[in-house]
Homo-oligomer: A and B are copies of this chain.
Amino acid sequence: MSVHSEQPRIGIIGTGAIGGFYGLMLARAGFDVHFLLRSEFDAVVSNGLQVSSAVHGDLHLKPVKAYSSAADMPACDWLLVGTKSTGNAALGPIIRQAAAPGAKVLLLQNGLAVEDELRAVLPDSLHIVGGLCFICVHRVAPGKVMHQAFGAVSVGYHSGPAADDAERLAIIDACAQLFRASEVEAHVMENLQQARWRKLVWNVPYNGLAALLQTGTRALMADPDSRELIKALMDEVVQGAEACGHDLPAGFAEQLFSVTESMPDYKPSMYHDLAEHRPLELEAIYARPLAAALAAGFDMVRVRTLYQALGFIDRSSR
């Protein structure tokens, strides 16, 4: 057992909107949090990390234990990865440098099979925990994050040296406790794959349409055509999940639709990725779910249409 009873050391790999928000919340609660930064290093060293939160108010962490190289980080018991899924294959050396023996790596990303990609580049001695963030958050400037709504995290054990279900449960329970001790709602997931499909029911329509149509949730929910398209895409993802053996609760898509209607206007990450000429997370959010459903006998044709349009703009935007 490597679950710590003493204070664990936490590393944040990728201090963007997700890593910045959760890392700050953990540090604010008294945890020992170390942040790996790239382009934002200088700004964060000078000005600290700032979160302007509609839920928690204006938060400021300064000084920040900031690093420009994983080689300089102390060995961390937990590593929260908030980078884009498009870079997962390159995370191996970075995570190995920052990880204590038997460390737990929590991958806070959307899409399918993101953990599998990471597993392929990490030693067997490290645990991988999958995490889903239900949050409206985006980076507005170096070291500055805007938190508009929600914030819950769901975590599920993916793979690693855990001996049995009891140890797996202990690890994800410990992970959820870290968040709960930091004013972050956290849930333990028994079925990580099903949870990833559930999250896709939101991400597939809203991330893609926000990027393709260059808009936010408010406008998408106000137009009769995009409303119908969102519903149709959600239904397809629900059917794709079912084809893959993950029956979702009745009314699940309708509930997500209704929650989104009551949200403030939100531009999902893919909107910002396109605007800033970053690669879009099309593989994890579209290509893999499409392939999984097709292999199970169901072609999500509307999702594929959206994916192909996004593939074009992804390539032409860079």
Interface residues of A (CB under 8 A from B): 209, 212-213, 215, 219-220, 223-226, 228-229, 232, 301-302, 304-313, 315-316
Which of A209, A307, A316: most chain B Cβ within 10 A? A316
CA distance A109 to B146 in the complex (A): 49
Structural contact, B302 and A305, CB atoms closer than 8 A: yes
Looking at A220, A302, A312, the one whose CB has the most chain B CB atoms below 10 A away is A312
Instruction: Please state the number of chain copies in the assembly.
Output: 2
- Asked if B309 and A229 make an inter-chain contact with CB atoms under 8 angstroms apart, the answer reads yes
Residues of chain B contacted by A232 (CB below 8 angstroms)? 301, 304-305, 308
Chain A interface SS verdict (over half): helix
Instruction: Give chain B nearest CB distance to A207 CB in angstroms.
Output: 14
Closest CB-CB distance, A218 to chain B, in whole Å?
A: 12
List the 9 closest A-B pairs by CB distance, nearest first: A225-B311, A229-B308, A225-B308, A226-B312, A305-B305, A302-B305, A223-B312, A301-B301, A225-B312
Q: List 25 A-B contacts (CB under 8 A).
A: A213-B309, A215-B312, A219-B312, A219-B316, A220-B312, A223-B311, A223-B315, A223-B316, A224-B311, A225-B307, A225-B308, A225-B310, A225-B311, A225-B312, A226-B308, A228-B308, A229-B308, A229-B312, A232-B301, A232-B304, A232-B308, A302-B302, A302-B304, A305-B305, A305-B306
